[in-house]
Amino acid sequence: MTGWFQTRVLAPGVFVTLEPAVHPMFRASIVTILGRDRDLQFDFGCGLLALRPALPLGAKPVVAVASHAHVDHIGGFHEFADRLGHASEATGFAGQPGVETFADEFRDWPDPVFHPPEPGWSIADWTLRPAALTGTLAEGDRIDLGDRQFTVLHLPGHSPGGIGLLDEVGGLFLSGDAIYDDEILDDLPGASIPDYLRTMDRLRTIDFRLAIGGHGPEMSRPRLIAIAEDYLRRRG
């Protein structure tokens, strides 16, 4: 069914795709950045329908990076050959049982979707497809698209291997679920409030113009700092 995915252009070569019919708890930002030599795909939705054909990707090689191994960010990760993420969540990406991807929570959610992606579809047909990492990313690693470079920031707290990508020159920050303009989830299995406090403290110091969070609207730098400082006040 067309229209399952909805893509917006934020800036030249910068796109955010959502699955509007997915329950807001699991409706995550799917970010595409077109580069001169290669493209970047950051996060992958819930995996209800094939994602890649719906994305504004061209014919260039694609670097696929997952912010972390929660179900709402890695559903379509398996559709990409070159899959990067943080090593501490490798078992989640690989689909090993007993690891916190929250796939079972999504399947058992009362209304995971507002309407089915295809006629006759049922959540019982859905599985989170394993997508083992083909390479790992760590703090300070660089992703080079030719005309844009991103630096990997390791931002644990929401999950142990949460990463953000920062384009210092372009002023663009992809923050995943490390920070977003919505309720911050820090009490999930695998989350750590002490780690989150350190991450929020660090996030206050990062320079950028626009941040795209894993959920919620885009954030200006003042807005992101306000969210981080609110968290530090509440939990610090």
Report the distance separating Cα 41 and Cα 35, nearest Å: 11
Report the distance separating Cα 179 and Cα 207, nearest Å: 14
Report the distance separating Cα 70 and Cα 180, nearest Å: 15
Of residues 28 and 210, the one with the C-beta less far from Zn ion: 28
CA of 222: how far to CAs of 163, 214, 230, in Å? 21, 18, 12
Of residues 28 and 40, the one with the C-beta less far from Zn ion: 28
The residue count for binding Zn ion (CB under 5 A) is 5
For the bound state, the minimum distance from the C-beta of residue 9 to Zn ion, rounded and expressed in Å, comes to 22
For the bound state, the minimum distance from the C-beta of residue 177 to Zn ion, rounded and expressed in Å, comes to 4
Please select the residue that binds Zn ion; options are 14, 28, 66, 211, rule is CB under 5 A: 28
Residue entry with tokens 């002490």: 194
Structure tokens at 156: 């644990």
Please select the residue that binds Zn ion; options are 43, 72, 89, 218, rule is CB under 5 A: 72
Residue 103: DSSP 8-state: H
Phi, psi for residue 227 in degrees, rounded to 5:
-65, -45
Q: Cβ-closest residue to Zn ion? A: 70
x/- mask, Zn ion, residues 213-232, rule CB under 5 A, reads -x------------------
Of residues 19 and 72, the one with the C-beta less far from Zn ion: 72
For the bound state, the minimum distance from the C-beta of residue 65 to Zn ion, rounded and expressed in Å, comes to 15
Contacting residues toward Zn ion, per CB under 5 A: 28, 70, 72, 177, 214
